[in-house]
Structures are given as C-alpha cells and as structure tokens.
A and B are shown apart, each in its own frame.
Chain A
Amino acid sequence: MSSFRGRDVLSIRDFTPADIQLVLRTARKMVPIAVGEKRSRSLEGKILSTLFYEPSTRTRLSFESAMARLGGRALGFSSAEGTSVQKGETLADTIRMVEAYSDAIVLRHPHEGAARLAAEFTEKPVLNAGDGAGQHPTQTLLDLYTIWDEKGSFEGQSVTLVGDLKYGRTVHSLAYALAELGAHLTFVSPPTLEMPPEILEQVKEKGLSFRAAHRLEEVIRDTDVLYVTRIQKERFPDPQEYEKVAGSYRVDMDVLRDAKRGLIIMHPLPRVTEIAPEVDRTKHAVYFKQAFNAVPVRMALLDLILGEGA
C-alpha cells in the first residue's frame, strides 16, 4: 500500500521529492501500456469523473485515455454549457452529486482554488487539472517526467525557463519543484514579464542559486533543458511592442548555434511562433514526446491513487 491511496492532487507543493520520484518511476512502467503494447486491468470497474468547466481537450483526453488504458472508465463533461452548472448550481453541490457516481474526480475550473474547495466537499480523491491561473500539478509532473526521462536526473541540470514568467503559473510550479529537486535555474524573460519576487524567494529558500537574464543568447551555451512558454499578446497594450518582444525570444536554428549537443527543448503546447518549425527536426525537440508523456504520468497517478497493488 502506498501513501497515495485515496489522496488528492491539488498542488505540486503537496508532493515531497520522494513522492515525485515515485510518480516518475511508476510512469516509466506505464509506458508500454500507454502505447498499447501491454494490457492492464488494474483499474477495472473504477470510474473517473472528468469535470471540465472550461475546455482543455488535451488534458481531458489524456486523462480519459489513461483511465481506459488501465481498464477503467471515464465520464463527465467538456464544458459548463448545457449542464446544471449553467443553471446556477454551486461547485460544492455538483461535487456532492458526482461523488456518488465515481471513484475519483478530475476537475478543471476557471476559478483559482476550485480544486481545493472541491476536495473539501468529497471523500473521493480530487485531481486538479488546472484552476484558472492557479495550479496545474499534473502538467508539472509530466514536465518533470520529461526532464527525468531524457536526462536521467535533476541534480545539477541547468534548466532555463524562457518567455512569460510572470503570469504563467505553471512555470511557477515547475520552478518551485525543480528547485526542490536540485536543478540550477535560469530565468529569461522580457523585463515586464519577469518571475515574481515571491517565487524567487521560494527558490532561494531551497538554498539554490539562480540567475536571470533578458537575452537567450547569453545563457544558451550552458543550458541542459530549455523550457519555452508562450508570450501572450494580451499582455502588451501595443501590438508592435508585442511583435518585437515575442520575436526576440523565438527559438530558431540561429539561437541554437551555440547550444550543447544534449540540450532538450520543451514546450507545454500549443505553440504559436515561440519555436521555429525547423527546430522540430532536431534532436533537441522533445515537446511532442512531452505531450505524449501526459498519458503515462496520469496513468501513474490514477494507479497510485485508485489501484490495489500500487
């Protein structure tokens, strides 16, 4: 019996480094099942509710695929339209109803803290699949898995996070977890989209050094992992300013000229123009693999939380 049985997955902060390692090792064992080479019935008879109050096709499908690969079933909705939610039902009431239909609940919701609220109204495990600009712990875990799977470890890896580091809370969770796992962090962003001071404070508390830069060219040479995020147009009142800024953080062959041979490039997808298409063909590009990793990582979580033998 693992400590995961029946547990909520609300924030990456609830995970110790040992917890994270267990998820990653379990995810690796899931890969042959995730690609259909091996069969599993470990969650046979179990039902997962997927409540998506806002659409996120990738996240929902990967959860449903993960459940099906383990022999379980998923039910739910993919947007709030046409549900009792639209008639004004509270999230608390919806959760109390859904609890009776399923063994675990996956929730995506536009309001921050929704998953924590949901967990207060049910005994069943709640998995946070993104709450507004808040936490998205399963995304963080699949990002961590990708690094670990490609690089073999976190300790001493030089990880560079580039793009919008201010508003993207997934990069905040990732930075926090990587600091805890012993990676060296570099933050590259436009001056207006820098990592917020409270996140830097948390990284410092882990006793790790980090550095910040405004230009990718300054740091690419000694980067092992480059994590690229989208810079959103809405953050810039002036469209010309946006074009200029977005252009200067674009990863293309030119930027990669000085890169290490073993550099990996990650992106949570969908990308717009942050990574030039020609980069896809290089050995550096792992973002499509990263997207695939969503399934074994979510399988691992579901199996650890709902499975018998895990």
Chain B
Amino acid sequence: MRELRVTPIKNGTVIDHIPAGLALKVLKILGIGDAVTSTVTVAMHVPSQAMGWKDIVKVEDRELGGRELDKIALIAPTSTVNVIRNYNVAEKRPLALPDRAVGILRCANPNCISNVREPIESSFVVRSKSPLRVVCKYCDRELEDIVSHIL
C-alpha cells in the first residue's frame, strides 16, 4: 500500500473518490463551519488510479446518514462513503441518487409556493440521473445550477 496522505482516523466517516474540486462543496453539504467540535481533514487533488485526481474528506466522530448522503449523491454520485469504527471500515454506505430529492434543494423560482412560508419541504422529481436533471414538484420548473441550490 502506498503512503497515506491523510492519516487514518479512529472513529468517523471517510468520503473518498470525490471528483477533484468538489471537496469544498461536500464540506458545505455537511454543514462544516464554526460550530464543529470534531476534526475534519480534507485532501484535495490526490492522485487516483481510477479517476486521475480526486478529493477526500474525513470527518472524525461523526457517522453520516440519510439526507447528508442524498445530498452528496446529488453532486458527487461516484464518491464512496465508509464508516470507520476503531480504525476499521465498519460499514460501506452506498450512495444512491433518490428518485425524489426532498428537503435538500431550494427551488430557484422566487414565485414558487415552496419558497413561501408554508409547512412543506421542497421536493424535486429526478427526471434524469446522468446528466442530473431535477424538476420542482410544485412549480414544475427545472432547476438549473443544482449545486448552488443545495440547502
């Protein structure tokens, strides 16, 4: 095995095989900002046999699930997510793009009812996975520039 650029973590989550350049977007999805109490390690532009270049994000003491995985699947469906417990890969969490993206994207249409104060979550129908195309369930409009509309 080659030298590891990022040191192993004891407990937490490793997101590997992120397409190069998307690591910061993944951090945004994970809501990693000032209030984070655990260590986050980011490796950008790492050589990869399969991908040429890739990014890696390691979050200590946190196991990702549900919506966080859905969001990552939206922008970087080729990534792998491994849950680490006591230095071992305890679980591989598969990334699967859902048929509906609920509560993870904001509609770009300012006149859409999902952008008004109502007790609903945004909801998008995934019309095509590659290339990714989503349509708002409420206003029926296609969302352009999906990444910048992640909640």
- Chain A interface: which of B31-39, B81-89, B134-142? B134-142
Tell me the nearest residue of chain B to A115, going by C-beta: B113
Q: Is the CB of A111 within 8 A of B119?
A: no
- Residue interface bits B63-105, CB-to-A below 8 A is 1, else 0: 0000000000000000000000000000000000000000000
B139 to chain A minimum Cβ distance, whole angstroms, is 4
Q: Say whether B118 faces chain A, with CB atoms less than 8 Å apart.
A: yes
Q: Chain B residues with Cβ under 8 A from A90's Cβ?
A: 117-119
Q: Say whether A279 faces chain B, with CB atoms less than 8 Å apart.
A: no
Q: How far is the CA of A112 from the CA of B138 in the complex (A)?
A: 7
- If A111-B113, A112-B112, A133-B111 touch, whether A91 touches B118 (CB-CB below 8 Å) is yes
Q: Is the CB of A112 within 8 A of B119?
A: no
Q: Say whether B120 faces chain A, with CB atoms less than 8 Å apart.
A: yes
Q: How far is the CA of A90 from the CA of B140 in the complex (A)?
A: 21
Highest count of chain A CB atoms <10 Å: which of B113, B118, B137, B142: B113
- Residue interface bits B108-150, CB-to-A below 8 A is 1, else 0: 0101111011111000000000000000111111100000000
Q: Chain A residues with Cβ under 8 A from B117's Cβ?
A: 90
Q: How far is the CA of A109 from the CA of B112 in the complex (A)?
A: 11
Tell me the nearest residue of chain B to A13, going by C-beta: B140
Q: Chain A residues with Cβ under 8 A from B120's Cβ?
A: 92, 117, 120
Question: Between A and B, how many residue pairs show CB distances below 8 Å?
Answer: 50
- Residue interface bits A86-103, CB-to-B below 8 A is 1, else 0: 000011100000000000
Q: Say whether A11 faces chain B, with CB atoms less than 8 Å apart.
A: yes
Q: Is the CB of A113 within 8 A of B136?
A: yes
- If A112-B112, A113-B112 touch, whether A92 touches B138 (CB-CB below 8 Å) is no
Interface residues on A, range: 10 to 19
A11 to chain B minimum Cβ distance, whole angstroms, is 7
Q: How far is the CA of A37 from the CA of B84 in the complex (A)?
A: 78
Q: Chain B residues with Cβ under 8 A from A110's Cβ?
A: 111
Q: Is the CB of A117 within 8 A of B111?
A: no
Q: How far is the CA of A284 from the CA of B67 in the complex (A)?
A: 57
Tell me the nearest residue of chain B to A91, going by C-beta: B118
Q: Say whether A130 faces chain B, with CB atoms less than 8 Å apart.
A: no
Q: Chain B residues with Cβ under 8 A from A113's Cβ?
A: 112-114, 136-140
A160 to chain B minimum Cβ distance, whole angstroms, is 25
Q: How far is the CA of A198 from the CA of B119 in the complex (A)?
A: 30
Q: Chain B residues with Cβ under 8 A from A135's Cβ?
A: 140
Q: Is the CB of B113 within 8 A of A91?
A: yes
Known: A111-B111, A111-B112. 18 other contacts (CB 8 A): A11-B140, A90-B117, A90-B118, A92-B118, A92-B119, A112-B109, A112-B112, A112-B140, A113-B113, A113-B136, A113-B137, A113-B140, A114-B113, A116-B113, A116-B138, A117-B120, A120-B120, A135-B140
Chain A to chain B: the 3 pairs with minimum beta-carbon distance, closest first: A113-B138, A112-B139, A113-B113
Chain A residues in the interface with B (C-beta under 8 A): 11, 90-92, 109-114, 116-117, 120, 131-135, 198
